[in-house]
Structure 1
Amino acid sequence: MGTGMASILLYFIPFQAKWLYCLSIVLFVLNAIFFCIISALTVLRYCLFPKLWRPTLCDPMVAPFLGTIPIAFATLIEMWVFICVPLWGEWASTVAFAFWVVDAVGAVLLTMYLSFLLMSKSSIRSLEMVTAVQLLPIASTIIASGVGAEVAEVLPSRERATATTLASFVLWGMSMPLAAIVLAIYYQRLAVHKLPAREVIVSCFLPVGPLGFGSYSIMYLGKVTHAIFANNPDPSIAISGKCIQAVTLMLGLIIWGFGLTWLVFALASIYSAALFPFNMGWWGFTFPLGVYAASTILIGNELPSVFFSVLGTVLSAIVILLWVVVSLGTVRGIWKETLFVSPSPIPK
């Protein structure tokens, strides 16, 4: 997720240069390799230890991390749309559409199943046990809606583009209000039981993710809707496209502002925790802040606004620097064999 977001930001930065484009391609390829290797290892893990699958699916504290799979896949689809479709043409857009369908179906199934799992299983019985990790499966559907808008923009068939855009609006409606509900519960948990332990304090950044991409998704959907309706011979439909774009931009700005509130909370939480140990949770710095940076850049493009464009560029630079720091820490942890811990015991 973090590597994919870094590649997207390098491509998306308003103040472009050739070396940034080349670096974004390098990270895209690197991310594809990472995704294939980790997916293969995950499949191998559950093939060698099939009894792990059920405990993983039924544990409300572990199962939400499955939402990272469609999110990571979505970053690959985005870069495929940005890099491969312009180079390879119509067949590449068809492949992007097929990939998006798989990603969207997987994201919706995880969102519905894991959200119901939180209600039906007895292992979480107090407010104190609710964590920001519960947002991960919901975020996967929000991200699928934004990626759907990007895919619709490059589809040659107007009918398919319209259907993809409508489906993406539905995906956004299924997930964004649900994320707001979970955020309200999580805020109550923080107010009553205070901040998480120092070891997992980075999780305070997770609420920025669905808000950042929720803002990005709805604005991109408005942009694509306007593009689809603009050439319609019926002037009323063309005007409705402009109205939808204006409404979605306003809604995106409001969600961006709400995300800013949670970003301040996250920064204050990190500051209050002082020094805390490096672990895999540090990757939680990269993706939430990355999608917030992407949303900021899109606002700068749509208004247009130099302020948002510069702010988005600054945030993107911070994300890329964080990616470098966390990547080096990960390599060091792998080398010293101190980083990875099995999330669930192997049943006997």
Structure 2
Amino acid sequence: MGTGIASILLHNLPYNAIWLYWLSVIIFCLNVVLFISFFAISVVRYTMFPGIFTAMIQHPAQSLFMGTFPMGLATIINMIVFVCVPSWGQGAVILAWSLWWIDVAVALASCFYLPFIIIYVHKSDLSTMTAAWLLPIVATIVAAASGGIVAEVLPNPQHALWTIITSYVLWGTGFPMAMIVLTIYFHRLTVHHLPPREVIVSVFLPLGPLGQGSFALMQLGKVALRVFPPTNAFQMEDMGKIFYAVGHLASLIIWGFGLVWFFFALASVSRSKFPFNMGWWGFTFPIGVYAVATCTLAEHLPSAFFRNLGTIFSVAVVLLWAGIATETARRAYTGQIFFAPCVQGYERDVAAKMVEKRQGSVTAENPGSA
């Protein structure tokens, strides 16, 4: 997600240059390699040790990160539209649309199932809650935003209409739920104060649904303005204009709400000394999608203020990505960065079963010992 948003920001930077474009392409290719590699590793891992997947799903914290899979795929889909479609034409459009439907299915599964696991399986305590609860929910908002980008290049207006309507439904499944979680999270902060320093970076995660939710409404409204009239959607001549106007009004309000959480996040991390861990990647994507919303506002208003602010946000995210990626690579080489909490429980279960099996074997061989 962090690598993908860095490539998108460089590609869409308000003040751009040809070398920035090629840099975005290089990071995009790196993102594809990382995604395929990690996906293949995960498949091998869960195939060889099937019990780890169950342990991961039942873990109250690690299971939430399943939502990052469709969000990471969405960044690749977006860059396929930005980079590959102009060069490869219709084949790239079909690829992007096909991948988007896969992304939709996985995002819906994440948004529906994982929050239910929190309700049904986990014994949650308000004091231990973090903004990571947003991760499985935000997946559908990200898919909705990607749907708006894909719909813009679909040559068939009817296909574009299906994509737009699906994207609005996806936005409706994710954004209101995200607001509910933000309410609970704000209550948690006021009652139990800041999260532990190990997970303090999670205070930036609320920028994810707000930034992507704002961008999604602008992008979908922009495409609806073009697609609704020829398809006679909703059987009203000006319905596209209504969606466009309401979407931009709502997106501006949501962007303003994001400023509040941005301030909370900056104030929180400024009062904490926290060690480097994989949680630092929580800096990149939330701020990145908020930067995307800012740059999109600059394009549609138009506004030099939002253009300059979007550029500052974008450059900051790319620099953060470069620093965090460098430190992650260094610690990955030494093995210091790898830690899977669910594996500890899995290993304990396996050890307990082996002990029970040995005891059963001893009892069977020596019935009198019982």
TM-score w.r.t. the length of structure 2 is 0.91
How far the C-alpha of 1:60 sits from its partner, in A, is 2.8
Say which one has the larger Rg: 2
Between the two proteins, the alignment pairs up a number of residues equal to: 345
Corresponding residue number in structure 2 for 1:239? 238
1:228 matches 2:227: yes
Q: Deviations over 1:99-148 (max 9, x none)?
A: 00000110001110011111112421x21122111100111110000000
Letter in 2 for 1:66: M
Corresponding residue number in structure 2 for 1:280? 278
How far the C-alpha of 1:230 sits from its partner, in A, is 5.1
Corresponding residue number in structure 2 for 1:303? 301
1:153 matches 2:152: yes
How far the C-alpha of 1:68 sits from its partner, in A, is 0.6
Whole-Å Cα distance in 2 between the matches of residues 166 and 337 of structure 1? 46
Give ranges in structure 1 of 5+ residues lacking alignment: none
How far the C-alpha of 1:61 sits from its partner, in A, is 1.9
How far the C-alpha of 1:231 sits from its partner, in A, is 5.3
Whole-Å Cα distance in 2 between the matches of residues 111 and 6 of structure 1? 24
- Native 8 Å contact 2:158 2:231 kept in 1: no
Taking the TM superposition and a 5 Å limit, the aligned residue runs for 1:5-44 are 5-44=5-44
- Native 8 Å contact 2:134 2:206 kept in 1: yes
Note closer, same or farther for the CA distance 1:266–1:233 as it changes in structure 2 (3 Å cut).
Answer: closer
Whole-Å Cα distance in 1 between the matches of residues 271 and 117 of structure 2? 33
Q: Deviations over 1:253-308 (max 9, x none)?
A: 111111111010000000010x3211111111110000000000000111111111
Whole-Å Cα distance in 2 between the matches of residues 292 and 156 of structure 1? 29
- Native 8 Å contact 2:60 2:122 kept in 1: no
Q: Deviations over 1:290-330 (max 9, x none)?
A: 00000000001111111111110110000001011101111
Letter in 2 for 1:319: V
Whole-Å Cα distance in 1 between the matches of residues 57 and 122 of structure 2? 14
Letter in 2 for 1:23: L
Identity across matched positions, percent? 47
Whole-Å Cα distance in 2 between the matches of residues 16 and 227 of structure 1? 27
TM-score w.r.t. the length of structure 1 is 0.96
Whole-Å Cα distance in 1 between the matches of residues 158 and 223 of structure 2? 13
Give ranges in structure 2 of 5+ residues lacking alignment: 351-370
Whole-Å Cα distance in 1 between the matches of residues 245 and 167 of structure 2? 18
- Native 8 Å contact 1:146 1:217 kept in 2: yes
Q: Deviations over 1:175-232 (max 9, x none)?
A: 1000000000000001101101111110101111111101111111111101213557
- Native 8 Å contact 2:161 2:231 kept in 1: no
Whole-Å Cα distance in 2 between the matches of residues 123 and 11 of structure 1? 43
Letter in 2 for 1:217: A
RMSD: 1.4
Note closer, same or farther for the CA distance 1:194–1:228 as it changes in structure 2 (3 Å cut).
Answer: same
Q: Deviations over 1:218-256 (max 9, x none)?
A: 11111110121355789x844221121011000001111
